[in-house]
Structure 1
Amino acid sequence: MYLKDIDMDKFTLIEADNNNYEFNGRVDFSNPKSPTIIYAGSLIKTKFQGTSLKIAINNKHACFENSIGFIVDGKIHGKAIIEEHYKDIVLNIASDLEDEVHDLILYKRSDSCHYFDFYGVILDKGCTILSSGPRAKRRVECFGDSISAGEVSEAVDYVGKVDPENHEGIYSNAWYSYSMMTSRKLKAEINNNAQGGLAVLNDTGYFNGEEFLGLEFTYDKLRYNPQLGSCNSWDFSKFTPHVVIMALGQNDAHPDNYINTNKEKRHIWKEKYKGIIRDLRSKYPKALFVVITTILVHDKGWDDALDEMVEELEDLKIVRYLFRRNGRGTPGHVRIPEAEEMASELTEFIESFGEEIWE
């Protein structure tokens, strides 16, 4: 359905610049009437009146299935698949609801395989939206790869196994990533700056086809995928986290797993990663940085290098964490039960630093 075809005698568009929307994540508000939702797990929260809900968007497609996740009243979970791109379209989210006030969370299920411009929700005529309540006081930020983005997380029949072939993104769901689960357990808002295939260094990993862009390119960006247009800088004053999860390294072994064999490359990798963390530290002087890899099978040499890196940084609030099954839990992406395992461990570790880290 196209936005221009909506009968406004029967429905009401509540535009995106309404103050009763709460946006989480690195969102581009260059046009407040159509903010662009970019990162995996970025979400929109509100309350709405009435018996039905639609949303109006314009989707920018790069690859894979593109869809928007939704949760209504904490119990109706689903995804709206986007089948047309670069057009002003309307997606049906819910109908035949009780005629009352409902809670709503809309969220981006996957990474920069797409962006979408959000125009607003469409409600029954005469209905409106209300604030979802005060924002969370705790703030977490995550820089990670496909595991942090929840890629292939819904393929629960493949726990402990390699990924299903030709999945085309249909099982990806950032809501069930360990990073998003951890933020919910901590009752924190999260900027989940995760991208499938991301390595620390450019020219390694898998992100962005032939260019192979790494964290050194993306970490300070708002729009960060050149396949979807010009990239721009993130304004770090918009979000200051209490806890920063740094979850990179596994993809740096592609195309060359040099970490145990090439001391010069190992040094370059550590220095670049340290430089990024130091730059983030200059912006977040009080934050706790937690440096991790995941339970995805990978060479232990990357964790040894991270141990060295953290020690060399000489900062008591930059710490390492190793999961109980670190580097040996699964040969495929982390599924929902495995993400729950990781989130429980990581939450316990972060909470061990006490309430003062949230001050």
Structure 2
Amino acid sequence: MRTKYLLTLIIGGASLICRAQTVVIRSHDPHIKYMGRVVMQDEATELSWSASSASINFTGTGVKATLKDEHAGNFINVIVDGKVISVLQADSVKKEYTLASGLPAGKHTVELFKRTEWTMGKVWLYQFALDKGSLTLAAPPVNKRKIEFYGNSITCGYADIDTTGQDRGTAPYENGYLSYATLTAKHFDAEFNVIARSGIGILVSWFPQIMPEMYDRNDPTDSESKWDFSKYTPDLVVINLFQNDVWITKMPDNPQFKARFGDKAPTEEQIVKAYKEFVKSIRNKYPRTKIICALGSMDATKEGSAWPGYITKAVAQIGDKNILTYFFPYKNTPGHPSVKEQRVMADDLIAFIEQNIKW
């Protein structure tokens, strides 16, 4: 009996020492604030969508995270106290990574921000671990304002940090943290969801999937994984789609053109109807949310383009005073928007919101 008692004391003491060395915050812990659509699994939280993130508050001098990347293809901004201090590319095997060390003693916030889109793969967060002597604080507060963006490569930040002019769409050159969507949300201190994929359209995409078939997913790779829209009701929705439709509807030899339209391009009536139906599906999810139907800043809004007019007609037919239109000026440069051009888009959208949205 005495031996058993001593063994219990030893085990208990070892446990206390372990807890004194590190404070572990597992993926389901309410001290973690998640932003974006994430999938809560038994041992980890799955981050897929662009701009999805996880953040904690703590007192201490250092923090680590245990992560795994599906293909080791994503880039994650490590943000400490509001500043990006490093960029992390996790391995395809589960590992612990030091996010920050040697911080001044006191209160800190750390955020992991997935800056690459879901086609680059999923990232699993298993836990945070704080250095010895640290304390976990309440999760970062919920922002008063909420925005949801539906978009394509422009919204994802495709090639925005490719300064060579090659317009490369691979992970090292895509940074959703610098897209107009993130910049706009940060200006308004708003939480935001980004539902986007490079190449996607409303009528047709460069691949079989279109936005009306993806917009309601939690896990974007799983058609059976449905998002619970009651979990997040935005004050504002921004839809920036049609750029890819502009191109593919003029390409009768494209396989996706053939799959969607056969041998005849969609008429103006069909285009307007498709856009109207998508906007109405968003309105059905959020009956009182303000919606901005945007387009640009690539050649869908260049002079002479009919596509802003299609959006204007669709919105007019819906007849909802809380659905507005905004068309980004054509940037008139090759490729996707650069960081500078994303900033211009954000400034334009911010000005439009400040003038037209009361929240």
- Bucket of the pairwise TM-score, normalised by the shorter protein: 0.7 to 0.9
Whether 2:344 is the aligned partner of 1:341: answer yes
The alignment of Structure 1 onto Structure 2 pairs a total of residues equal to 328
Residues 242 and 288, structure 1, Cα contact 8 Å, conserved in 2 = yes
| Cα displacement string for residues 77-97 of structure 1 (whole angstroms, at most 9, x for unaligned residues) | 321012x32x32222222222
Unmatched segments (≥5 aa) in structure 1: 1-6
Instruction: Name which of 283, 287, 290 aligns with 1:288.
Output: 290
Q: Does structure 1 retain, via aligned residues, the 8 Å contact 2:49–2:220?
A: no
Q: TM-score, normalised by structure 1?
A: 0.84
Gaps of 5+ in 2: 1-17, 253-262
Over 3 Å counting, the alpha-carbon distance change for 1:169 and 1:354 in structure 2 is closer
CA deviations on 1:54-88 (whole Å, 9 max, x unpaired) are 21122223xx8312111112234321012x32x32
Query: Which residue does 2:314 correspond to in 1?
Result: 309
Deviation at 1:320, TM superposition (A): 0.8
Cα offsets for 1:259-314 (capped at 9, x unmatched): 9x967444333322221211211221111111111212336222222122112221
Higher-helix-fraction structure? 2
2:299 to 291, 297, 300: 297
Secondary structure of 1:136's counterpart equals: coil
One-letter amino acid of the structure 1 residue matched with residue 350 of structure 2: T
Of 36, 42, 58 in structure 1, the residue corresponding to residue 68 of structure 2 is: 58
8 Å contact kept, 2:60–2:130: yes
1:185-200 equivalent positions in 2, closer than 5 A: 185-200=187-202
Residue number in structure 2 paired with 1:183: 185
Contact 2:78 2:86 in 1 (8 A): yes
Distance 1:12 1:149, change over 3 A: same
Superposed CA deviations along residues 196-218 of structure 1, whole A, max 9, x for unmatched, are 111113xx323xxxx52110111
Q: Is the contact between residue 271 and residue 310 of structure 2 (CA under 8 Å) also seen in structure 1?
A: no
Kept in 2: contact 1:205–1:253 (CA 8 A): no
Contact 1:216/1:272, CA 8 A, preserved across alignment? no
Give SS of 1:77's match: strand
Equivalence map 1:126-137=2 (5 Å) = 126-137=133-144
Tell me which amino acid in the other structure corresponds to 1:73: D
Query: 1:238 and 2:231 equivalent?
Result: yes
Contact in 2 for aligned 1:80/1:92 (Cα 8 Å): no
**Are residues 8 and 334 of structure 1, via their aligned partners in 2, closer, same or farther at CA, if it must alter by over 3 Å?**
farther
Do 1:297 and 1:331's aligned partners in 2 also have CA atoms closer than 8 Å?
no
Distance 1:279 1:256 in 2: 23
Q: 2:94 aligns with which of 88, 104, 108?
A: 88
CA RMSD across the alignment: 2.5
Q: In 2, distance between residues paired with 1:169 and 1:265?
A: 36
Paired amino acid for 2:345? M
Distance 2:266 2:247 in 1: 17
Map of 2:37 onto structure 1: 26
Contact 2:37/2:52 (CA < 8 Å) preserved in 1? yes
**What amino acid is aligned across from residue 193 of structure 1 in structure 2?**
I
Q: State which drifts further: 235-244 or 331-340.
A: 331-340
**Counterpart in 2 of 1:171?**
173
Distance verdict in 2 for CA 1:267–1:354, change over 3 Å: closer
Aligned to 2:278: 276
Query: Mapping of 1:46-125 within 5 angstroms?
Result: 46-61=56-71, 65-82=73-90, 84-85=91-92, 87-112=93-118, 113-125=120-132
Q: Which has the larger radius of gyration?
A: 2
* Residue identity opposite 1:336 in structure 2: V
Q: 1:283 to 1:107 in 2, by over 3 A?
A: same
Q: Distance in 2 between matches of 1:269 and 1:60?
A: 37
Secondary structure at 1:48 match in 2: strand
Cα distance 1:47–1:66, how it changes in 2: closer, same or farther (>3 A)?
A: same
1:329 is aligned to 2:332: yes
Pair 1:77–1:241, CA change in 2 (3 A): same
- For residues 264 and 199 of structure 1, the distance between their equivalents in structure 2, rounded to whole angstroms, comes to 14
